[in-house]
Amino acid sequence: MIRDITIGQYFAGDSPLHRCDARMKLALTFAFMIVIFVCGNFFSLGLIALAALALALLSRVPGGMLLRSLRPIVMLVVFTSVLNLLYTTDENTHALLQIPLHFRGWVITVTREGAFTAIFTTVRILCLLLVSSLLTYTTTPSMLTAGLEHLLKPLAKLRVPVAAFAMMMTLALRFVPTLVEETDRIMNAQKSRGSNLETGSLLQRVKAFVPVLVPLFISAFRRAAELANAMESRCYTGTNERTGMKQLRLRARDYIALSAVLLLLGGVVTLNVFFGKIV
């Protein structure tokens, strides 16, 4: 189950999304997230959802992989939907459904507003996650960090160590799969010695996890020391100028993507104005 973590996973491909410039993708993903929160009625919400699905199709990432990246938040979505459904009640709401509980006269009331909020939240969260996983699926980690480094470059003038930060991100992305594998291995080792990681009270489970964390940390520190040696051996000093094999270049398709997102924003705002905001 721990192997399901898909942060920073890249899906090799050659789709239009893959070929866009990383800086543009980063900026547009951010813009898309804003648009997701701007939309205020079902028409604009539908437009957003269609746009997100269109992007998913355009990326040619297999649906199974996309679903897998959505899986970790299913619980969160269900939970917030239920809360929204049940707790959106005040004098201006319209009851849709009333379920009398034969206990002290309690009644579960599902209101129209509650249902709307639930649908909105669900679609928004799913779109948010879909768009951000599309970013990592279609951008190699090195391009992602290079793009981020470029976008943050102005901060270097304020003495923010942008290059070092980008290197940290590169290494973090590189070592996520390695450490995940290692955690799995240590967990299995501890389980085979009879430790119980899956049942018991929360406190018991936290305690059972300590023998997993200690070896994990020790090995991570050893790795870090060896990695530092390997990097220094290859002339990395942490302070010197570096070049990049892959140069970022804005091309026509990047401007097309920019226009598409601007169009989407325009569409959402128009629909908001036209049909009014309900959320």
Partner 1 sequence: MPSPLITFDNVSFHYAVEGESSPAARALSFAVEQGAFVALLGRNGSGKSTAAKLCNGLLTPTAGQVRVGGLDTSLEENLFEIRRRVGMVFQNPDNQIIAAIVEDDVAFGPENLCVAPEEIRRRVDAALAEVGMLEHRLAEPHKLSGGQKQRVAIAGVLAMQNDCIVLDEATAMLDPRGRHDVMDTVLRLNRERGITVLLITHFMEEATQADRVLVMDGGSLALQGTPAEVFAQPEALRAAGLELPAPARLAEALRSVLPSLPSGVLTEEQCAEAIAAALRKGAGA
Q: Give me the residues that bind partner 1 (CB under 8 A), please.
A: 8, 10, 12, 140-142, 170-171, 173-174, 177-178, 181, 222-223, 226-227, 229-237, 240-247
Q: Closer CB to partner 1, residue 141 or residue 147?
A: 141
Looking at the Cβ atoms of 181 and 259, the one nearer to partner 1 is 181
Taking the complex as a whole, how short is the minimal distance between the CB of residue 213 and partner 1, in angstroms?
A: 20
Amino acid letter, 7:
I
In the complex, what is the shortest distance from the CB of residue 234 to partner 1, in angstroms, rounded to a whole number? 4
Tell me how far, at minimum, the Cβ of 147 lies from partner 1, in Å.
14
Q: Given the complex with partner 1, which of 62 and 200 has the nearer CB atom?
A: 62
Pick the closest to residue 10 from 173, 120, 153 (CA basis). Answer: 173
Shortest distance, CB of residue 235 to partner 1, whole angstroms?
Answer: 4
Exposed e or buried b for every residue in 35-74, given b needs 16+ CB within 10 A? bbeebbbbbbbebbbebbeebbeebebeeeebeebeeeee
Min CB(66)–partner 1 separation in Å: 19
Considering only CA atoms, which of 260, 246, 262, 245 is closest in space to residue 19? 246
H or E element that contains 17: helix 16-19
List strand residue ranges (DSSP E) for the chain, in order.
95-100, 107-111
Q: Which is nearer to partner 1, 8 or 114 (CB)?
A: 8
Tokens of 2: 């721990």
Rounded to 10 deg, the angle between the 42-59 and 252-275 helix axes is 160
Minimal distance in Å, beta carbon 6 to partner 1? 13
Query: Closer to partner 1 at the Cβ: 98 or 181?
Result: 181
Q: Under 8 Å CB-to-CB from 170, ≥6 apart: which residues? A: 141, 142, 145
Q: In the complex, what is the shortest distance from the CB of residue 224 to partner 1, in angstroms, rounded to a whole number?
A: 8
| Residue closer to partner 1, measured from CB, 210 or 227 | 227
Q: Which residue's CB is nearer to partner 1, number 171 or number 265?
A: 171
